[in-house]
Copies of this chain bind each other. A is one copy, B any other.
Amino acid sequence: MTRQPPPDEAAWLASYDPGRFPPFAVTVDMVLLTVRHGTFSVLLVERDTHPFRGDLALPGGFVLPDEDLDAAAVRRLERETGVRRDAAHVEQLGAFGAPDRDPRMRVVSVAYLVFAPDLEAPSPGEGTRSVSWFAVDEVDGVSLAFDHGQVLAAGVERARAKLEYTPLAAAFVGPEFTVGELRRVYEAVWGHPLDPRNFHRKVTGTPDFLVPVGHPAPVGPGGGRPAALFRRGPATALRPAMLRPS
């Protein structure tokens, strides 16, 4: 039983030369999220070259011919932002490949989602004028280069959902943290205040989420009882989930 190729595909196949293939380029783009000063923020660059010169964009770039996708993402992360791989959570967000997303040529972008602790201001890479943090809420509505608005929206929604059923909020803080710091991460990402007492019960009651470190944290500027310090435990999921307030 042989299938009859449709005209468009047949035409393409007829002109297909095994030594060549359709001119696709592959890039990685990063949705690098953090919580700084209590604000859920994303790292954006200002483009210094065409196309979209002067517009804000997600950091990213072309994948090298022999480079793994994940490796390309981590390389850009370390080079352009100074975040080390093991200090952050990195996962693939998905592929974005509308035919007209880049006016230069056909480009498929593989987007990565990164959760990082608060960082010093990173330094610009090539082709970018500046690189800095923006509050996620402020960027909402601003038009970004390429389809980066869509990519960012997908990353933000995924981040919000992941806090519900994974312990990944800990990727937004340092290696040692208090329950209050963790709660402020949830509040910033979700944009909702949470009850400190119920939150404390949930996170300390979930097995393997938090491992006590033994000594207390230094007291903050406003006074108050010193909080216990924790490290991330080996838990990989929150079951049942901690649902976002409606």
Bound-state CA distance A1–B62 (Å) is 21
CB pair B8 A64 closer than 8 Å: yes
Q: Does A187 lie at the interface of the complex (its beta carbon under 8 Å from any beta carbon of B)?
A: no
CA distance A99 to B70 in the complex (A): 11
Number of interface residues of A (CB under 8 A): 55
A231: Cβ under 8 A from any B Cβ: no
CA distance A99 to B50 in the complex (A): 29
- The answer to whether A126 and B5 touch across the interface, beta carbons within 8 angstroms, is yes
Main secondary structure on A side of the interface with B: loop
A95-B98 in contact (CB<8A)? no
| A108 within 8 A of partner (CB) | yes
Q: Which residue of B lies closest to A80 (CB)?
A: B3
The answer to whether A3 and B63 have CB atoms under 8 Å apart is no
Interface residues of A in 194-246 (CB under 8 A from B): 239-241, 243
Docked complex Cα distance between A126 and B108 (Å): 25
- Would you list which residues of chain A between 93 and 110 have a CB under 8 Å from chain B? 94-101, 103-106, 108, 110
The CA-CA distance from A126 to B3 in the complex, in Å, is 6
B residues in contact with A63, CB < 8 Å: 22, 24, 97
CA distance A72 to B20 in the complex (A): 18
Q: Which of B53, B96, B110 contacts A9 (CB 8 A)?
A: B53
Question: Is A66 engaged at the interface, CB distance under 8 Å to the other chain?
Answer: yes
Most chain B CB within a 10 A radius of its CB, from A12, A24, A67, A123? A24
User: At the interface, yes or no: A158 with Cβ under 8 Å from chain B?
Assistant: no
What would be 9 A-B contacts, judged by CB atoms less than 8 Å apart? A1-B124, A2-B126, A3-B125, A18-B105, A24-B108, A26-B97, A68-B98, A92-B94, A94-B94
Known: A22-B26, A22-B65. 9 other contacts (CB 8 A): A12-B65, A18-B23, A22-B64, A23-B24, A69-B108, A94-B94, A94-B95, A95-B108, A97-B110
